[in-house]
Homo-oligomer: A and B are copies of this chain.
Amino acid sequence: MMVSANSMEAVGVQPHGGNLAAASALFPHAPLPWVDLSTGINPWPYPLPDIPASAWTRLPEPGQERALCAAAAAAYGVADPALLVAAPGSQILIQTLPFLRPPGQVQVLAPTYGEHAPAWARAGHRVELVENLPDPDGPLPGVLLLVNPNNPDGRIVPPGRLLALADALAARRGWLVVDEAFCDLTPDLSLAPQIGRPGLLVLRSFGKFYGLAGLRLGFLLAPEALTAAMADRLGPWRVAGPALHIASLALVDRDWQVAIRTRLSAARLTLDATLRDAGIDILGGTDLFRLLRSPEGRDLFTELAQNGIWTRRFADRPGLIRLGLPPDMAEFVHQSHMVCRVSII
């Protein structure tokens, strides 16, 4: 399937989660406040440290950004902080990356996060959505992009298979771009330790795992010529002072990272059990979101929305919804009684 810059936008379905104004417009009678489970953001955020006044008042210093990159390199397992560039959100990296190489052929492993394909199309690339990864020994595009683990279905491609593809692409000056937005949950799957290999690029998101999506921070991990080119495009003082301060602490807080992984994993197992008891099919996901199929003849999206629970649906896949982790499982079970009616009956 070929993609143009605008063809991805679906009519009547929000292109992203997290838009509660849209929720209230569609469901004006839903009980308030909304329980927003439409995103894949950790509901138990990293505790905000005190933020020094200077983080707000002064221009961020180059040394602060270097310290952040050193913390991120340690957290992600990147050999050298120069192989990493920080930006105000991974989204702006997704939007800018396609301009760092001449227009060519791009394959995006689909279905996946909806912002990648239009970003490459916007920069003049020929974008194709593909359902399977190409054979490393066969014809290859200039750029191959996937999200791993995938959003919304959690599909995982083993690192070894990706490295073989990266090497095959690099041999033709191609790129393998892996969006690891949810890889903090499963660090063993990350290609970050391999960064430095020609043609291997990884995107990381800070806000999802650390539960601080409003802070806006993301990283491109890539050969140094590319991180330098990205820094040159986005310019100095890219990352806000408070974000530099908070993330530099969070990224080195191994105790918190280990504890939250355990907590998210346990919460996800409880959620799965609850959903299965209610007769709902779980198609996949990560510890931060689940992809569900509405039972025959039902519409989970509407049922949940009418009960004040906002989830994410997909224009091209009716009946599927993505559900974030409820911050309070008992409240969720209570509030979503329609979902659970199968088990109640």
Contact = CB atoms under 8 A, between A and B. Distances in A.
A119 B233 CA distance: 9
A330 interface: no
A54 interface: yes
Interface stretch (A56-64, A253-261, A270-278): A56-64
Interface stretch (A70-78, A220-228, A235-243): A235-243
**How many chain copies does the complex carry?**
2
Contact of A94 (B48, B63, B216, B235): B235
A212 interface: yes
A238 B91 CA distance: 8
A215 B237 contact: no
Contact of A99 (B58, B99, B115): B99
Contact of A63 (B21, B92, B99, B115): B21
B62 A21 contact: yes
Given A39-B59, A62-B19, A214 B240 contact: yes
Contacts of A232: 122
Interface of A: 16-21, 36, 39, 41, 45, 48, 53-63, 88-89, 91-92, 94-95, 99, 115, 119, 122, 207, 211-216, 232-243
5 contacts: A18-B59, A45-B56, A56-B212, A89-B237, A214-B242
